A and B are shown apart, each in its own frame.
Chain A
């Protein structure tokens, strides 16, 4: 039982990582910008979900609105800042991104927004059933996370592979200038990119908020650092890579914490993994030079 149960828990944890890291890797794929402010988008999504849920009491509405709000915030971040820095040295958008992240995180901690407290988000499992198998069981909340992740990933997959603008995205990810030269509408593609990626992060924020029944201003920090580890592991800019790397990281984390005692907290271990990865396999586990 414990092995299968651990694995099931790891898959649920990985789902939230995937939703978070997908947007980061999409942004990196097209713009080659390390979008650190993605963490703020995630938190803003969770906050929007919290507000909607406490007004209307409906989880699905809260999720939809959270995705819309965080999608718009993502597009705004791009239009107001990165858009003007595409030809600048790479440190320029990077530092701007750090600035946006710092500013938004600090603002969210102010009393008139979230304050320095944890807020409960008691949406439960949104009415979904509990799943029992002989090997493992999933709580309604876990079922919720898995189901929403699968549906959202399917939608993103269809958009990116079956629509005109999605194909444009793929072209831009291969070579942005060339794609622009052959008539891909780059500004629409990049806006879509930010909207989709940020909406996924907003969904992740709401789901994690529901799962832990807690939403707070700095909740995005740790997941976003882990998302960086994931996109490095998955080989920068690759969506399948993100899925594999998320599963891997979540499994390793879960089994490490479940089986061995640790000297450092598990998040410190994650950073150690990141540094070692960057030093020895900077192109990802499956990446090539």
Chain B
């Protein structure tokens, strides 16, 4: 059968696929570059952990609470985006990430630097998901839900609103798009999905520590989204799978994981700013051309 190690890697990949998809809603759809996404991930993980460890709340409740609370916090932490854009928003989100980690670290209620341990394995409808294949199924179901939410958003008028504020905020406002509303909406949805991923992470590891949710992790998630192709449905998934799984497979890559994330960001910006399978990327254009040609041949009378 499949070894426990492979399953663990697959669980992590699933969690990071959800994370990358959630950041993609904010950065890819709505155009708000955030370097604080790990903060939302952390808020979800800590909400779940506090509820489960300190108040013995059942899994389903603490999981949903993590989603709702992180979504609400996301609305509040999204407020700076109404005042500042681009690079300054990046500074603000970076600051938020530090602030949130500092709160986890220095407020005793959250367990301080020692974190929160002994988070129980989740149980749903009397079934306990103690790692292994059931948990894998749970995580990938959640990843699928994140994908569904992203897909749904991209098809509705909300997605259109996000699109307009990404392309040109002033023009969007001029034709009557409620820019502040859509920004806060994007922050809320993105944060809520990240919160759920955080909850699943906490329950899988069984403990949460402040430094897991630091700025470096935010960079990691952003790398995945940008590497795969920002603003597409397929890109973040591929980015998360490649960047999360590769370091586990190759020992050398594990040691230089962060260096490679950084180098990838630079190289992508230099040569393929749309990501490896983004809309205007080389690979995607070639693939499209390939399929179009075979289509044309198939349709020939």
Contacts and interface: CB of A to CB of B under 8 A. Distances in A.
B102 A264 contact: yes
B84 A103 contact: no
A232 B33 contact: no
A278 B270 contact: no
A282 B102 contact: no
B262 A100 contact: yes
Q: What class of interface size applies to chain A in its complex with B?
A: 35 or more
Given A95-B33, A96-B265, A279-B83, A84 B99 contact: no
Contacts of B94: 225
A17 interface: no
A282 B88 contact: yes
B106 interface: yes
Contacts of B270: 81, 84-85, 96
A93 B269 contact: yes
Interface in A174-220: none
Contacts of B91: 34, 228, 232, 274, 278
Nearest to B32: A91
A268 B33 contact: no
Interface stretch (B12-20, B42-50, B141-149, B253-261): B253-261
Interface SS of chain A: helix
Contacts of B96: 271, 275
A103 B79 contact: no
Interface string B226-264: 100000000000000000000000000000101101111
Nearest to A104: B262
Contacts of B84: 278-279, 282
B90 interface: yes
A92 interface: yes
B33 A91 contact: yes
Contacts of A84: 270
Given A271-B98, A271-B99, A99 B269 contact: yes
Interface SS of chain B: helix
A274 B95 contact: yes
A98 interface: yes
Contacts of B86: 90-91, 94
A271 B97 CA distance: 9
B92 A274 contact: yes
A275 B95 contact: yes
A102 interface: yes
The 5 closest A-B pairs by CB, nearest first: A99-B265, A103-B262, A102-B262, A34-B87, A268-B102
14 contacts: A98-B90, A98-B265, A99-B261, A102-B216, A103-B261, A107-B259, A225-B98, A228-B91, A264-B102, A268-B103, A271-B98, A274-B92, A274-B95, A278-B91
